[in-house]
A = this chain, B = another copy of it.
Amino acid sequence: MNVFVNPKQTIEELKDLRSLTGDEHGAQRVAFTEKWTIARTWLREKLEALPVEVHTDAAGNLWATLKGQSEQELLMGGHIDSVPNGGWLDGCLNTLTALASLRRIIEQYGTQPPVTIRLVDWADEEGARFGKSLFGSSACSGTLNMDEARGLTDADGIKLVDALRDCGIDFEKVKDSGVELKNASAYLELHIEQGPVLLDLDLPLGTVLGTFGVERHAITFHGQAAHSGSTPMNRRKDALLAAARMSPEIYAITERHEGVCTIGSCVTKPGIVTSVVEQCQITLDQRHLDAAGLAKMLAEAKQASADFAAAGDVTVDWTRLWQIEPILFHEKLIELCDQAITETCGKTHRLPSGPLHDAAEPARVGIPTIMMFVQSLHGISHNKIEDTKEAHLELSVIAFDKLVEKTIHWLTDSL
């Protein structure tokens, strides 16, 4: 029996969800808020209509399980939560496409597929309210820093711990959710790209190689305030001059090593029109899929800052704000994802993911993981104008389902 996934139903469901939880400013499904709970209930009702076991784990992640002939589990899903004023596809496209595949599997295999199939809707991927992304997936993988998370509050001063309690979650027990992963053999996730790579290549779909490692630093140059009228140019200790020279330099660094570097903020003190800048702080965000490449980019930025400081008779110091290592996806699943895409639309492309995703969490604890990207119009995300052509959305549902089927076969073959 040849059974096919139903992409048109997925698009209808995406639109229904948009009507239910969005407004004129975009999607409003911020985790641990009312709109998110509405979205969750809506999804849960759809799952409960299927012959699957549905429950929420100790971290608030929603699971739907279709027991298979093997205890091995194929996980698929993502997150229904959004940033405030977010796009309509990030990330609910992943949970609803997983729902489509779950339906297709039930239709094809009945209630006993070759391996156990599980849909997961992770709690709070975005971290929009409390500033900590990948909350549910990192609790589940065990990488969540409990001491850091315990202290988090939202803009109104409400503690994460209390917001969780209101949702029936005991913060101190969130890592008990780790039990959900004990038989996990693969994790699959579809996501809108959030960048312009596939758009520029005019390709609907791509295979994600992994998520970038990130080095995030504040760099402060210290010079001397001096009167803008009475201080000759050669007597200046201009903190801004040294900092400014970092901006073209990070473009040169990525030219040599690939990856991406961003100076997102520049703050000057005293910051008045009539004074040479005494202190200039910039932030640097560097990302690379290769740990050695990332280390080289960081080392070269540090050297450049020291050189510019010395040349300008100022000093410089660095403070690390955050870092994470690159997380590579599974080689075999990369191959299967390429095949699924190629069979669906003729051509694929491999690309890294700049943003982090829930998929990083199962991947970093050794579960074979892969993501598929669908083209993003405008290359924009976290914005109400985020969009993808409906034809591409349909292709993504079809290709993702092919990837699911290929993964079932791979897991079965390896039994």
Contacts and interface: CB of A to CB of B under 8 A. Distances in A.
B251 A276 contact: no
B196 A235 contact: yes
- Residue of A230, A231, A247, A280 ringed by the most chain B CB atoms within 10 A: A230
Given A264-B274, A274-B285, A379 B240 contact: no
Given A266-B280, A285-B273, A354 B227 contact: yes
A230 B272 contact: no
Contact of A264 (B228, B251, B264): B228
B260 A229 contact: yes
Contacts of A355: 227, 229-230
Q: Give the bracket for the number of chain A residues in contact with chain B.
A: 35 or more
How many copies make up the complex? 2
- Residue of A245, A247, A276 ringed by the most chain B CB atoms within 10 A: A247
A200 B233 CA distance: 13
Given A245-B244, A247-B240, A248-B244, A195 B266 contact: no
Contact of A229 (B214, B229, B268): B214
B233 A251 contact: yes
Contacts of A212: 229
Interface string A245-273: 11110010011000011111111101111
26 contacts: A194-B227, A195-B232, A196-B235, A200-B235, A227-B382, A228-B262, A228-B354, A229-B285, A229-B355, A230-B353, A230-B381, A233-B251, A233-B260, A238-B247, A241-B247, A244-B245, A244-B263, A262-B275, A264-B271, A264-B273, A264-B275, A264-B276, A265-B268, A265-B273, A266-B267, A272-B283
Interface of A: 193-197, 200, 212, 214, 216, 226-233, 235, 238, 240-241, 243-248, 251, 254-255, 260-268, 270-277, 280, 283, 285, 287, 321, 353-356, 379-382
Which 4 residue pairs across A and B have the least CB separation, nearest first?
A229-B354, A195-B230, A244-B247, A230-B354
